[in-house]
Amino acid sequence: DSGVTQTPKHLITATGQRVTLRCSPRSGDLSVYWYQQSLDQGLQFLIQYYNGEERAKGNILERFSAQQFPDLHSELNLSSLELGDSALYFCASSAWDRMYQETQYFGPGTRLLVL
Amino acid sequence: GENVEQHPSTLSVQEGDSAVIKCTYSDSASNYFPWYKQELGKGPQLIIDIRSNVGEKKDQRIAVTLNKTAKHFSLHITETQPEDSAVYFCAGRGGGSQGNLIFGKGTKLSVKP
C-alpha cells in the first residue's frame, strides 16, 4: 500500500458525460501527478500540482482539468467524454529525500469505462 | 523531450532463472530512472530506482545498472519466483531533481513454476 488513495475504483459512464476522479496524496506530500494508462499509449503524464498550484502540464486534453485543494487532495475532471477516454487514471504523490531528490508513489487507480 | 524505449515487451522465464529488462533513453540530461512493478488491477509500485551519479544499485534479488554514455539502463531479477510475474515499467525523468516521469511501454514478465 503506497498510502495514496483514489476514488472511485471503477466508473462506468456514457459518452458526453462528465466525471470527477479524486486523489488523496500520502500524508505530508505536497505534489500530485495525474497519469493516464491506456493499452495503446501506455502511461502518459497529464498534469502536476504542487501545494495547490499547477506546476506542469503534459498531454492533457482541453476537455480535462484538475485542481488541488487546500487539504492537498486533488480532483481530475473529465468532460464531454468520448469512447477513447476509457483508461486507467492514476495519481501519484511525491516525497523528497535529504538530497532533495523526488520519488513518486502511485495510487491504485480509477478504471474509467465510457460506453 | 525525453523518450524511453523498453525491451522486451514480453519475457517468460523458469522459476529460479534470471530476468533482464532493458531500457534506453534519449535525453542526456535525464538523471533519475525508477522501475515500477504493476500487478493486475493495481497501481505501479516502485521497486528500485537509480540516479545518474551511480552505475549500479542492488536490493536483494533486484539490481539496476545504468550506462550514461550509452544512455541505457537495465533491471536484473535473480532467482525469479512466480510472484515476480507482473508488468514492469522503466521510466526516466529529464534534468532536475523533480518532475513528471516518461515511461517505457512495459514488459510482461511471466515466471513459470
Torsion A62-A104-A99-A72 (CA) sign: positive
pLDDT at B97: 56
What is the band of B82 on the pLDDT scale with cuts at 50, 70, 90? very high
> Residues B85-97: pLDDT tens digits?
999 999 998 665 5
Spatial neighbors of A76 by CB under 8 A, at least 6 apart, are A20, A21, A23, A34, A46, A47, A64, A65, A66, A89, A91
Please, what is the average pLDDT of chain A?
Answer: 94
Residues B45, A2: C-beta atoms closer than 8 Å: yes
Inform me whether the pLDDT recorded for B113 exceeds 70: yes
- At B87 the pLDDT is 97
Residue type, B87: V
- The residue of B53, B98, B101 whose CB has the most chain A CBs within 10 angstroms, and thus the best one to mutate to test that interface, is B98
Whether A41 has its CB under 8 Å from any CB of chain B: the answer is no
Query: Whole-angstrom Cα distance, residue A99 to residue B64?
Result: 20
Q: Which tens digits make up the pLDDT trace of A38-96?
A: 988 889 999 999 999 999 999 899 999 999 999 999 999 999 999 999 999 999 999 88
Cβ-Cβ contacts under 8 Å, B95 against chain A: none
Q: Is A4 within 8 Å of chain B by CB?
A: yes
Q: What is the pLDDT of residues B30-67, one digit of tens each?
A: 889 999 999 998 999 999 999 877 899 999 999 999 99
Q: Please give the pLDDT value at position A44.
A: 94
**Chain B: nearest CA to A57, how far in angstroms?**
9
The pLDDT value recorded for residue B96 is: 58
